Structure 1
């Protein structure tokens, strides 16, 4: 609806410019710092000043003298060089509230397919909080893009040919212990302990590296496939359970060995050999100096076996042939690798991926490492979140049954984790602090509580969809704050999708929830003069919060 208002205001200004024989310039709007200055403002007078050789204040006054008031606006006025439009809330509010349905915010189909790869952690142990930012940004962005009209397919790229998996296989073959003998309730935890143990063996016996290299070579030749695949599949089984606990599900798990087996990696090498950039010096590599990249891209080991980089090129060519847009979610330590990939993909004629880089999460006590066994697993994180949520709910609600408490705790606990990570721009470093993430007085819990409050109020009023606005309802300032925010939601969805930024939705929802809590506290609903209008407003806030939280993969409890 904000876009509709902007279009109406823009048309009226263009007619005014035409009447005055002023040049037609690009007319953009911004939100004034306070409602007293209007709802939409434009600075076109600044742009016209240089063309007309006039003072922008005078230009604004002249334009105001001929502009016609567009529909849904109460007035338009000049404030210095600015031209400010004021919404007619009595009419606009009715139209807006009528337009908000169960699907509010969804944008038209675009006819473009996106393949979005996220999480893709090595299957050498459980997911830890160092992986969780990738997973939550990726899953939330996929949801937002779908809601914004894109056809989205999510991928988990399985690194089954790397050194880490060969180390696990070496352990299974040599440590005289079955996988089931390692600690942990899930296969991924057992594999993580095995991987840690093999690392300790390697530190004491560096010669074992040759045996692990031989395992890598044998798997690439198609040997020992069963034991490699069993180890990876068992780890993935545990990882999938963890992701399910966060409400994350991938459309496809694409194994990198596929691109060795089907000849794609060899095709990549053959194509690159036909360029002027391929070099050989014990290993095969691409010289990328002409692309402004000092570090060469190694394509094969000295024994001729492929590397992750080569298999990744084959994977990106595969994606190029199956979609319009490729999006990768990667840690900021991959920036050089992405530059190398983009240069090589360009030589191969593939699509360059859009890459969302994120800074890492650390614990207050330092960085994490699966190899060193220093990490908090996502399973532990979820358990702790649920446990804290249960304690908080029991303090507040003595009337709930155990099953109800556990259901609400799951939604609040997982929501707290997802929101804590989604709320920040990915470029910002994040130190994971339990007390901040699981603080139920702010953040996600306050947004979920706004939804629960709305549900309770509507239930108490026996609200139905046939309730109508009666009388001459002119929204008060608290209601206007909510109306303005509700009108913004489709635009926030559009901006979030176009800029590939999840935190815009999270920040918007916090602002909407804060405005609703203020309205709830100071504006009586049931029994008030405008009960019908206010109940409809509450219902529309509830729908918008629900839709917004779904985009972040967060469930909305009806009671808290």
Structure 2
């Protein structure tokens, strides 16, 4: 209801301004401070004081006189507070919020008829996913979820780098070394098995005699040339390695859980001639020149001093050249393209965008979200090549183990009473532990580097995933006690309920927070800022807990009318927090 209220307030303000022949280009609508009773306010009087020639409070009062609340549905009255116009919601606003939020799809916005591809993770298939890169799939998945909830038709893509030198080295190493040359894998998974070849190959290239290294480099170059030429045999050799490593990486990502609609291989745009076509068109540009044994593009007109090399002297293309073809394909297939990418690729992405513009493309549909790194206390290294660092699998194992300890400490009595089985505890530990990792990472602004800390992430009392998840479990517990199925659509609980019964400050505050959820989704999607949803869930949890303390739902002391209204409010809360957690990719446990 909040978006509908905002629209109604905007229309009322525009009409009031038009009646006084004042400009309507900036309405100054904002959410007021917590100590103000209204849900929306307008600071437009500040802007118009000079135009009208009167003090802002007088302008605000005159505009308020132009608005007749009787002609509005969701606004009960308009009050002024100094220069602000405050809009107080009507009973219909609360009733319609309660009605809407008891639907299981609450928060999902209408279909926009616009397609979006979200490319994220795209880690090189050279070994297990590492903690330092964990932010990409977690943020990328949350961005895709937010866009999906906001009404976009979303595809999730993993762009597979299967054509660069690293992959050629990996393929050569896999074909060169025997199992007996390698140590034991850290895990029984394909990516851990094959990464041993990659590490052995790199060690060989650093330490072997010069003539042996030269022979190896010749084979590596042959693999790269074979891919460039579109040789099927070379592609199959490389795919054997890449596909097996990806199998293991996908297994790890599924634990988060993160899934993809398509794994788009880089070689696709070499084999279908797209890269050659891009190279030919780049060579025809006025900005193209050949120097230092390479074709380059002068981007100085865009303030970029370093030229963009798009073709080597040996005829092999570069990653960004192939990515130009990749993005041209995206533009053909989708209305909008979003890329979640590490901050170390910012310059490369700038080169890509400027090159696309020189080729005549409108890059407005292209959005990128840069993120900084995740660190663990102590600053452990994250190098796949060196074989050091902390793998994401290790982090998730530790998360589940620590969460199980926390859960068992809190639930010993319930386990003994058979309220929860060991299987229940394992499920909750997995949901809480992995939820804690995802939540702690996605809750921070992507551009800020973060250090993951266990005590903060798994704190059941602080503003963490367990704190928010517990609200959902509490809602489910209340509904089960009232013989309602928390997993079902609960819209029938709002039937014949009088929302005016919900008149305590805690009930009204909770309804107002619930009403804002669809707007939070829209903002998170439009600005590519999923951390806003995490911030919302913390506010929601605090507001629900205040309601829970002050407003008993099933107590014998509560009359039937109030009981029904409060139960409907719990149902609305359950759907709201479940869907907010769903956007973040965090499980909503039924019990904790």
TM-score greater than 0.5 by the shorter chain: yes
The normalised TM-score by structure 1 is 0.95
Output the CA distance in 1 between the equivalents of 2:226 and 2:24. Answer: 69
Structure 1 residue 328: Cα displacement? 0.8
Output the CA distance in 2 between the equivalents of 1:199 and 1:322. Answer: 38
Once the two structures are superposed, the pairs formed by residues 53-132 of structure 1 within 5 Å of their partners are: 53-69=53-69, 70-88=72-90, 90-100=91-101, 101-132=103-134
Name the structure 2 match of 1:393. 407
Structure 1 residue 520: Cα displacement? 1.1
User: Over residues 440-487 of structure 1, what are the superposed CA-to-partner deviations in whole Å (9 max), with x where a residue is unaligned?
Assistant: 333111111100000001111224734643595142111111111101
Per mean C-alpha deviation after superposition, the further-off stretch among 9-18 and 116-125 is: 9-18
CA RMSD in angstroms comes to 2.1
In the alignment, structure 1 residue 459 sits paired with structure 2 residue 480? yes
Structure 1 residue 531: Cα displacement? 1.0
SS at match of 1:298: strand
Once the two structures are superposed, the pairs formed by residues 150-229 of structure 1 within 5 Å of their partners are: 150-177=152-179, 182-183=184-185, 184-205=187-208, 207=210, 208=213, 210-211=217-218, 212-221=220-229, 222=231, 223-229=233-239
Name the structure 2 match of 1:501. 529
Instruction: Say if 1:552 and 1:24 are closer, same or farther in 2 by CA, change over 3 A.
Output: closer
CA contact (8 A) 2:443 2:531 kept: yes
Instruction: Say if 1:68 and 1:231 are closer, same or farther in 2 by CA, change over 3 A.
Output: same
Output the CA distance in 1 between the equivalents of 2:304 and 2:382. Answer: 30
Output the CA distance in 1 between the equivalents of 2:460 and 2:259. Answer: 27
Per mean C-alpha deviation after superposition, the further-off stretch among 506-515 and 13-22 is: 13-22
Output the CA distance in 2 between the equivalents of 1:323 and 1:472. Answer: 46
Output the CA distance in 1 between the equivalents of 2:298 and 2:12. Answer: 57
Name the structure 2 match of 1:422. 442
Number of aligned residues: 559
CA contact (8 A) 2:279 2:311 kept: no
Once the two structures are superposed, the pairs formed by residues 504-543 of structure 1 within 5 Å of their partners are: 504-527=532-555, 528-529=558-559, 530-543=562-575
CA contact (8 A) 1:316 1:350 kept: no
Task: Select 2:307's aligned residue among 289, 296, 308.
Answer: 296
Output the CA distance in 2 between the equivalents of 1:103 and 1:480. Answer: 22
Output the CA distance in 2 between the equivalents of 1:24 and 1:304. Answer: 58
Output the CA distance in 1 between the equivalents of 2:224 and 2:540. Answer: 54
Name the structure 1 match of 2:455. 435
Output the CA distance in 1 between the equivalents of 2:576 and 2:126. Answer: 40
Structure 1 residue 295: Cα displacement? 1.1
Output the CA distance in 1 between the equivalents of 2:108 and 2:257. Answer: 21
Output the CA distance in 1 between the equivalents of 2:246 and 2:182. Answer: 16
Structure 1 residue 156: Cα displacement? 0.9
In the alignment, structure 1 residue 28 sits paired with structure 2 residue 38? no
Output the CA distance in 2 between the equivalents of 1:178 and 1:323. Answer: 48
Output the CA distance in 1 between the equivalents of 2:310 and 2:256. Answer: 36
Output the CA distance in 2 between the equivalents of 1:271 and 1:12. Answer: 53
Structure 1 residue 280: Cα displacement? 1.2
Name the structure 2 match of 1:546. 578
CA contact (8 A) 2:403 2:433 kept: yes
Name the structure 1 match of 2:487. none
Output the CA distance in 1 between the equivalents of 2:514 and 2:382. Answer: 41
Per mean C-alpha deviation after superposition, the further-off stretch among 497-506 and 467-476 is: 467-476
The normalised TM-score by structure 2 is 0.90
Task: Select 1:479's aligned residue among 498, 507, 521.
Answer: 507
Name the structure 1 match of 2:373. 360
Once the two structures are superposed, the pairs formed by residues 300-319 of structure 1 within 5 Å of their partners are: 300-319=311-330
CA contact (8 A) 1:172 1:178 kept: no
Structure 1 residue 133: Cα displacement? 0.8
CA contact (8 A) 2:227 2:270 kept: no
SS at match of 1:9: helix
Instruction: Say if 1:19 and 1:171 are closer, same or farther in 2 by CA, change over 3 A.
Output: closer
CA contact (8 A) 1:172 1:179 kept: no
Structure 1 residue 180: Cα displacement? 9.0
Structure 1 residue 75: Cα displacement? 3.0
Output the CA distance in 1 between the equivalents of 2:454 and 2:390. Answer: 12
What are structure 1's unaligned runs of at least 5 residues? none
Once the two structures are superposed, the pairs formed by residues 233-272 of structure 1 within 5 Å of their partners are: 233-272=243-282
Structure 1 residue 64: Cα displacement? 3.2
CA contact (8 A) 1:180 1:190 kept: no
Name the structure 1 match of 2:45. 45
Structure 1 residue 92: Cα displacement? 2.8
In the alignment, structure 1 residue 342 sits paired with structure 2 residue 370? no
Structure 1 residue 37: Cα displacement? 4.6
CA contact (8 A) 1:25 1:47 kept: no
CA contact (8 A) 2:493 2:568 kept: no
Task: Select 1:149's aligned residue among 151, 156, 181.
Answer: 151
